[in-house]
Amino acid sequence: MDVPIFKSDVPAQTLALDPRGAARALGISPRTLWAYTKSARIPHLRVGRRVIYPVDALRDWMKKATILTATTVTD
């Protein structure tokens, strides 16, 4: 028996952000985001010609950056 898939079955959580949304979420300028992207300092994916930023990867990246910054400041 086939079970129909309804919109309510799809999680409402956003999986990835476009560059403008990622910059806004991180509180940085799009230019800074692009510099980080070009130097591979921030997690991103290329899908064809588009660049997207997975939300979970950005959260992990921020946690690691926060820990590194806190360690650096206290030393």
Residue-level pLDDT at 10: 45
Among candidate residues 67, 35, 37, 36, the one with its CA nearest the CA of residue 50: 37
Q: Mean pLDDT check: name the lowest of 12-16, 51-55, 68-72.
A: 68-72
The pLDDT, as a whole number, for residue 74 is: 55
**Which residue did the predictor score with more confidence, 10 or 21?**
21
For residues 12-29, average pLDDT: 91
Furthest C-alpha separation in the chain: 62
Q: Tell me, which fold does domain 15-74 have in CATH?
A: Arc Repressor Mutant, subunit A (1.10.10)
Q: Alpha-carbon distance 31 to 66, whole Å?
A: 21
What spatial distance separates the first Cα and last Cα of the chain, rounded to whole Å? 62
Helix (H, G, I), strand (E, B) or coil at 50: strand
Residue at token pair 């030393």: 75
pTM reported for the whole predicted model: 0.73
